[in-house]
Amino acid sequence: MAQIGIAVIAEEALAAATVETLIQLIAAANHSIKILGWGVFFDGVSVTAEPVQVELLRQTTAGTASALTLVKLNDSNADGLDTTAQQDFTGEPTAGDILDVAEVHPQSGYEVKYPLGQEPICGAGDRIGLRATAPAIVNARAKIFFEE
């Protein structure tokens, strides 16, 4: 049975006009992962604020970050998750191909679930990240669903 997991971060402050990776998934060396969907949510207060640029992208380096604990959606499956993840970046990873983009008002959020057969794939041993660039200071929460 395929294992489905989710990476979820606690609220993180975004600095104004600064690229910030919110989540990075690292596929195990022996298999790829399929991105089933992702979401990002903000707590802005200004109705006239400019939108936050959000990107799902491949990343070619790890950057400097803390480990993020992943959660299995089916906890009755005895197999563990081989994928690992990072959060709280103090050094940004190197950007690769951009796979998906959204402009999201900082008083709202955005979530996407990919249609069957159109999910982005993260190759074995590769990295995929979700990053945001906010024009003004705002807090963000984010998640990525994946299958390995």
Distance CA 118, CA 120 (A): 7
- Count of beta carbons in the 10 Å neighbourhood of residue 37: 15
Q: Which two tokens stand for residue 112?
A: 């996407």
8: closest CA among 72, 103, 77? Answer: 72
- Check residue 75 and give its pLDDT: 87
Encode pLDDT of 12-48 as tens digits: 999 999 999 999 999 999 999 999 999 999 999 999 9
Is there a contact between 22 and 142 (Cβ–Cβ < 8 Å)?
A: yes
CB atoms inside a 10 Å sphere around CB 91: 10
Per-residue pLDDT of 107-145, as tens digits, reads 999 999 999 999 999 999 999 999 999 999 999 999 999
Which residues partner with 80 through β-bridges? none
pLDDT value, residue 1: 55
- Structure-token pair, residue 43: 């707590």
pTM: 0.95
3-state secondary structure 23-60: EEEECCCCCCEEEEEEEEEECCCCCCCCCEEEEEEEEC
CB 22 within 8 A of CB 133: no
Q: What is the pLDDT of residues 62-97, one digit of tens each?
A: 999 999 999 999 988 888 899 999 999 999 999 999
Does residue 105 surpass a pLDDT of 70?
Answer: yes
Instruction: Name all domains of the chain by residue range, CATH numbers in brackets.
Output: 4-147 (2.60.120.380)
